Amino acid sequence: MIASRAVIARYNAGAWRVQKKKNKAETAAYEAKHNLKAGTASVSNDICDHPALREIYKLQASARNDVHYRLTLPAADDGMRILAGAFQLEHAKKMGEIEQQIKVLVGQFLKDYPAEAASAPARLNGTYDASQWPSVEVIASKFYFRLRYLPVPTLPLWDEWMAESATVAEEDLKARLATAVTTLAHSLANGTRFNESLITNLSDICALAGGLNLRDDPVIANLAIEGAKLAASISPKELRDSKSVKEAAAARAAKIAGMFSL
């Protein structure tokens, strides 16, 4: 069943990550000055703080967390994620948009890199280390954005792997639903300032659960339905204005959270 409703998605990315770099000479001098055992201390400095690098790091994290992990479920092997066919177009579109943004930023950084390297001795003063500044060709090779879609194996040889992956995926989906509803329940009950994003988070995972529930598990389906009803019925303004409304919402959330022990 899963083979007809999903694909395997693999994503990994890399970049030149050197905002902080250990300075061996300064570290040795510091340890000697304070009579410390070698390896006890570490003196580092920011050797490159180009804005394009910071944005690349953010985009790569967004691709991983906001798109890839959000729209997929884990498989039995690390690095492989199960992507429901219902979300493949959305996944490909959003990942492609991020990849293009990163390409522009990488091009900008590589263009500026020779000047960054040339100014480093003066900028870093006595902490400059030429070995920390490789050629632009080496730097270019550090950046990559790899995304592959593979068919779910259907041969009998893979039956055990698929059964294990399906179980792992369902447990992950249940955990995501449970986290969203229990976090909301605790927030409503503890009397602190309510964060509206908790409703959005619950609504989002409940909406995704329909497509991610690849074996049509009835428990997952019921939890998602009840969670979605709860999220739709909660008004942040009413929660702020009425103690009784907040208490009633907290009780409903707690009841749904209790369903996760099934």
User: Contact at 8 Å (CB) between 194 and 165?
Assistant: no
Are 9 and 65 contained in the same domain? Answer: yes
Are 160 and 81 contained in the same domain? Answer: no
- Report whether pLDDT(262) > 60: no
CA distance 100 to 148: 16
Residue 36 covered by a domain: no
Domain finish residue from 106, 134, 151: 151
Q: Which pTM does this prediction carry?
A: 0.84
Question: How many independent structural domains does the chain possess?
Answer: 2
Which residues lie closer than 8 Å to 242 by C-beta, 6 or more apart? none
Nearest to 46 by CA among 125, 135, 148: 125
Are 89 and 168 contained in the same domain? Answer: no
In the chain, what percentage of residues exceed pLDDT 70? 89
Binning pLDDT at 50, 70 and 90, where does residue 43 land?
low
Average pLDDT, integer, range 124-142: 88
